[in-house]
């Protein structure tokens, strides 16, 4: 399966909020560096985590990947194909900005605008652990993506592996939009931006 940069079902208003379609990785990385992404938000839970996230935004990270991230990259297209066949949510690599703040950014793994006008997203993960619940950092990532794109719910899909061999079919759970959590995350994003401005002026 070949992933398309942008889901073919999105509305004109949603397409206008694309910062970059993700086909140029360097352009995608540069654009992400200028705002607060779902990956940034996933790390924000305490005042100390805001300081740490600000440092990483300004100085970069020494982490360049490992066997687990490489496995995830290799498996994502296969899992995305399963998502298309089962739920008709198309893969996407596009970076979007929020309607009212260009600094608020997200790149969901998939998106579909249903016939009833409801936008649904998909997020894909691989893990070597059995999940009883979706980890909290991933929940923050999901809610942020919903806020940025205006989505109502997200299909969280994960594939467990043992020694990098997939175990069974992908598992999934729908996550509904949560306005109170989104409001909290928007405030945390504002705190992070304030720290970034203070450190660069």
**Cα–Cα distance for residue pair 96/128, rounded to 1 Å:** 30
Is 86 within the bounds of a domain? yes
pLDDT at 116 (0 to 100): 92
In this predicted model, what pLDDT tens digit does every residue of 9-65 receive, in sequence order? 788 889 999 999 999 999 999 999 999 999 999 999 888 999 999 999 888 877 777
Instruction: Extract the tokens encoding 196.
Output: 């970034």
* The two structure tokens encoding residue 128: 């070597």
Predicted pLDDT at 153: 98
Residue 3 inside a domain? The answer is no
Indicate which CATH number applies to the domain containing 80: 3.90.320.10
Residues of the chain with pLDDT under 50: 1-3
Distance between CA atoms of residues 201 and 198, nearest Å? 6
- Residues 169 and 166: their CA atoms lie apart, in Å, by 8
Residue 82 structural domain: 12-199
CA dihedral 2, 88, 169, 110 (to 10 degrees): 60
Residue 195 main-chain phi, psi, to 5 deg:
-65, -40
- Does 1 fall in a domain? no
| Model confidence, pTM | 0.92
Is residue 193 a part of any domain in this protein? yes
Classify residue 5: in a domain, yes or no: no
Residue 59 has what pLDDT? 87
Q: How many domains does the chain have?
A: 1
Separation between Cα atoms, residue 164 and residue 80, nearest integer Å: 18
Q: Which residue, among 86, 11, 34, 2, has the nearest Cα to 193 in the 3D structure?
A: 34
Q: Is residue 4 part of a domain?
A: no
φ/ψ (deg, to 5) at 105:
-125, 155
């Amino acid at each position: 399966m070949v992933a398309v940069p942008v889901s073919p079902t999105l509305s004109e208003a949603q397409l206008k909020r694309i910062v970059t379609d993700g086909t140029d990785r360097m352009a995608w990385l540069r654009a992400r560096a200028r705002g607060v992404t779902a990956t940034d938000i996933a790390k924000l839970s305490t005042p100390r985590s805001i300081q740490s996230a600000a440092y990483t935004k300004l100085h970069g990270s020494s982490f360049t990947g490992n066997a687990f991230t490489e496995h995830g990259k290799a498996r994502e297209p296969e899992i995305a194909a399963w998502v298309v066949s089962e739920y008709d949510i198309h893969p996407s690599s596009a970076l979007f900005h929020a309607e009212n703040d260009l600094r608020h950014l997200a790149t969901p793994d998939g998106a579909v605008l249903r016939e009833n006008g409801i936008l649904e997203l998909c997020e894909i993960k691989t893990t070597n652990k059995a999940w009883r619940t979706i980890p909290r950092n991933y929940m923050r990532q999901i809610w942020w993506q919903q806020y940025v794109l205006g989505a109502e719910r997200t299909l969280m899909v994960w594939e467990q592996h043992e020694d990098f061999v997939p175990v069974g079919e992908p598992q999934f759970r729908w996550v509904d939009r949560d306005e109170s959590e989104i409001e909290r995350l928007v405030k945390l994003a504002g705190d992070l931006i304030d720290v970034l401005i203070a450190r660069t002026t």
